[in-house]
Structure 1
Amino acid sequence: MTSTSFDVEKIRKDFPVFSRELPDGRPLVYLDSGNSSQKPNQVIETMREHLALHYSNVGRAMHVLGAESTDAYEGARDKIAGFVGAPSRDEVIFTKNASEALNLLAYSFGNPANTDPRFTLGPGDEIVISEMEHHSNIVPWQLLAQRTGATLKWFGVTDEGRLDYDPALITERTKIVSIAHQSNVLGTVNPVAEVAARAHEVGALIALDASQSVPHHPVDMTELGADFVAFTGHKMVGPSGIGVLWGRAELLESMPPFLGGGEMIEAVWMDHSTYAPIPHKFEAGTPPIVEAIGLGAAVDYLTEVGLDAIEAHERELTAYALEALREVPTLRVIGPETLEGRGATVSFTLEGIHPHDVGQILDDQFGVAVRVGHHCARPLHLRFGIPATTRASFYLYNTTGEIDALVRGLHHVQKVFA
């Protein structure tokens, strides 16, 4: 069973990994795209061709290869800006991943080099996050609170896996609110417009970790209402080693550099330096050139397939999975059990069976690749009183037949531990 308007078998042919067999001739059932997605030929070949025929450093070599490489690198920035509806290409900052993007942002708050009062942070000021965050959206803010004496606060999570949103938590003392657009464990899509409106009402800024949403749903920076958005390439059929921080231009212009070195400068003297305009102010040294070009190719691929079509396909898969998993005795879904306000990530526990055992049996005997552990979201698991979960996450190349394979594997796991 697959969508009649979505040719998933044609899409799967674009991904060479699905042509391989696992040991003992088992087919690969890859249900771990929330961790990292597989890569299509179009991305692989674009990167291979650039390395083979066009590679040079960017922004500094006055020859044909330098021009070609710079054009391809900056062309990728244009593609990504268009993909996420950024008002300006200069608002797209290349980082090595979403973690670096969020650390870059946190570095600006309370930094004496930043005199913008919106970034001034000290004792009595507040940082607001949530209990469902990935560690990448917790630890940088913990470090910022330790560095400045500010207070770290957070929204809780309901028993159903929804954000326990209380607008009163955001006060006149709040300087930054940073939450996930979509949870990497629960699949929950948060009410970011409502949170952003409240943050702006009190003069605070708002950042979103959109690593789990940009690959799966149409996202427009002008419509989200956020001031900053971080996402990563390897979850959106692109390569690892490349991520993005989008920010409103006037905010980025007021922020000090995160790293110093070549290419981010305007001029250097022995006692001081001036800095390049955005985006290059934040891209010190030789950047991940081929990775950025690969991300541009990933954006081309996702655009050709269509984010609306991908989202509809994933909703079918998620609805099918939520229904099929109900057949598995003692299985408990951690997160929303309906399609409303959720994405294509389903985490669960099996009573009396550790997720590590679940994952190993699924892999060894059924070729089903899922993620097990706390998924870099330990506080969320502590909130639910569990050490770990098993997570199945779906993408454009998955089928309902693969969900059937997951369910068969889970029934077998229960027999093993009966």
Structure 2
Amino acid sequence: MTSTATTVPAAPGAPAATAASAATGASVAPSARPAPVPLADLVDAGLEVPVLGGRTVRHVNLDLAASAPALTAVAAHVGAVLPYYASVHRGTGYASQASTALLEDARVAVAGRVGARLDDLVVFTRNTTDALNLLASAVPGETVVLDIEHHANLLPWQRRGRRVVVAGPTFGATLDALAAELARRPAALLSVTGASNLTGEVLPLAELADLAHAHGARLAVDAAQLLPHRPVDLAASGIDYLAFSGHKAYAPFGAGALVGRADWLDAAPPHLAGGGAVESVTVDAAEWKTGPERHEAGTPNLIGAVALARALAELERIGEDARRAHEDALAARLHDGLAAQPGVRVLRGFDDLEDRLGIATLELERGSVGLVAAALAAEHGISVRAGRFCAHPFFDRLATRANGLRVSLGAGSSADDVDRFLDALAGLIADGPAFAYDRTPAGWCPRTDDRPRPSFA
């Protein structure tokens, strides 16, 4: 394969003042609003990373929609729990009994943090994808989904009878299209994202719950993106099932959860066949448990469950108002800066949804977003993501280019993070990277990479 070195040229038609500031590396002026500081302490705060040329800089993590580092409170809690880690549910030792209590306390805590009803189940899973695959095995009928979904909420339903509704340009039109589809033929479940991982737009979940219930269906919500940013209350909103991941909610210890109504889950085949999920076993048959244990065979991820519960508690402690004000200010700063940058288009799915998370997916008029993402990391210490973000149908409908560049903010983000990104992006669009890059099967890579690996790598 022949490798190619390239640069990103300046976009044509730029206003003279903006083009000049980009060419000199000057900041594209962000909003004049107050400059937010990090709202929460994360374990990566102050992390220094190497960049090309032998320097180190403070890492700017703007890829939080993919995975978020642990809250320091979560990491400290995990450290305190680890000495007590042992078998759960059947051990008689002190550590085993402590571990059993930690797991079941985490289950109760997670239920409370998401407003579960008293008879809802909390099943600990690996992540949102795992949770939705479990739910797919339990649905007694067809599932209706939108084309805006992450693959985790598209692919599990393919084998179980799935109908896809193409979202309209407004949420109002989309609601009408869903209503028409549910009226055309009954469905057991409507499954939607709580917030798009592509555009950050937040869907009105109570309205969707009312719509589903009016047509005899239940509502499932993929809350992987929503829950780290907004509180969710199943009972108050009418959501029947909620799926989410710890690794997006500042608890990257390998656990997620499915929370929701017990009847379908108790009737479903066990998610995994193995010890812990059975009442009794013979060589020819098994009597399976009901409740969360039915789907949690094998040794559970105790540390992941404990970390997830603690992360949700920390987010609640920070408070909804503080989290919302912090993120809104940062998102406004980001979007103001992107609007002033020539050759940049930010993707939107709905004309009438104003509530959106601190997520922006943009495409460039010219050049490769993959190269820009590589140069942001290698030359500026800024982590973003390039691609179609496991939402291919939605991206392909909205975008005019093959790939986009996604910037995502969180509780540990600051105004300086946003400004560094905007400055670096302006310079890369105006002048291109300062170093040569090759396009390889692994993506764009510096032709000569002098960045040392961490000692543990």
Q: Does the alignment reach a TM-score above 0.5? A: yes
Radius of gyration: which is bigger? 2
What is the Cα-based RMSD across aligned positions, in Å? 2.4
Matches within 5 A, 1:219-234: 219-234=232-247
Unpaired segments ≥5 residues, structure 1: 110-118, 146-150
Query: What's the TM-score, normalizing by structure 1?
Result: 0.88
Aligned-pair distance for 1:388? Answer: 1.4
Q: 1:70-102 deviations in whole A, cap 9, x for unaligned?
A: 111111112211111112385111000000100
For the pair 1:411 / 2:426, whether they are aligned, the reply is yes
| 4+ aligned runs moved over 4 Å, structure 1 | 1-4, 160-163, 336-339
Aligned-pair distance for 1:161? Answer: 8.9
Match of 2:17 in 1: none
Partner of 2:198: helix, strand, or coil? coil
Match of 1:68 in 2: 98
Counterpart pick for 2:182 among 164, 170, 173: 170
Matches within 5 A, 1:370-385: 370-384=384-398, 385=400
Counterpart pick for 1:299 among 312, 322, 333: 312
Aligned-pair distance for 1:3? Answer: 8.8
Match of 1:86 in 2: 116
Aligned residues: 394
Match of 1:280 in 2: 293
Match of 2:266 in 1: 253
Contact 1:72 1:293 in 2 (8 A): yes
CA–CA distance in structure 2, aligned partners of residues 192 and 140 of structure 1: 21
Aligned-pair distance for 1:340? Answer: 1.4
Matches within 5 A, 1:2-401: 8-9=37-38, 11=40, 14-23=41-50, 24-51=55-82, 53-88=83-118, 91-109=121-139, 119=140, 121=141, 126-145=142-161, 152-158=163-169, 164-165=174-175, 166=177, 167-171=179-183, 172-335=185-348, 340-384=354-398, 385-401=400-416
Contact 2:126 2:254 in 1 (8 A): yes
Unpaired segments ≥5 residues, structure 2: 1-30, 434-457
CA–CA distance in structure 2, aligned partners of residues 103 and 319 of structure 1: 36
CA–CA distance in structure 2, aligned partners of residues 359 and 412 of structure 1: 13
**% identical equivalent positions:** 33
Q: 1:85-126 deviations in whole A, cap 9, x for unaligned?
A: 1123851110000001000011123xxxxxxxxx1x3xxxx4
Amino acid of the structure 1 residue aligned with 2:382: V
Contact 2:39 2:411 in 1 (8 A): no
Amino acid of the structure 1 residue aligned with 2:146: S
Change over 3 Å in CA distance of 1:41–1:2 after alignment to 2:
farther
Query: What's the TM-score, normalizing by structure 2?
Result: 0.81
CA–CA distance in structure 2, aligned partners of residues 142 and 202 of structure 1: 22
Amino acid of the structure 2 residue aligned with 1:15: L
1 or 2, which has the higher helix percentage?
Answer: 1
Contact 1:2 1:400 in 2 (8 A): no
Contact 2:281 2:287 in 1 (8 A): yes
Amino acid of the structure 1 residue aligned with 2:151: H
Change over 3 Å in CA distance of 1:317–1:337 after alignment to 2:
farther
CA–CA distance in structure 1, aligned partners of residues 117 and 131 of structure 2: 19
Contact 2:120 2:260 in 1 (8 A): no
Contact 2:138 2:267 in 1 (8 A): no
CA–CA distance in structure 2, aligned partners of residues 161 and 25 of structure 1: 45
Contact 1:55 1:69 in 2 (8 A): yes
Change over 3 Å in CA distance of 1:186–1:282 after alignment to 2:
same
CA–CA distance in structure 2, aligned partners of residues 260 and 379 of structure 1: 34
Change over 3 Å in CA distance of 1:85–1:163 after alignment to 2:
farther
Partner of 2:195: helix, strand, or coil? coil
Aligned-pair distance for 1:251? Answer: 3.5
CA–CA distance in structure 2, aligned partners of residues 32 and 163 of structure 1: 31
CA–CA distance in structure 2, aligned partners of residues 9 and 138 of structure 1: 34
Amino acid of the structure 2 residue aligned with 1:59: H
Partner of 1:22: helix, strand, or coil? strand
Change over 3 Å in CA distance of 1:195–1:133 after alignment to 2:
same
Change over 3 Å in CA distance of 1:366–1:328 after alignment to 2:
same
Larger relative CO (CA 8 A, sep 6+): 1 or 2? Answer: 2
Partner of 1:164: helix, strand, or coil? helix
CA–CA distance in structure 2, aligned partners of residues 163 and 366 of structure 1: 42
Contact 1:132 1:377 in 2 (8 A): yes
CA–CA distance in structure 2, aligned partners of residues 135 and 212 of structure 1: 13
Change over 3 Å in CA distance of 1:321–1:163 after alignment to 2:
farther
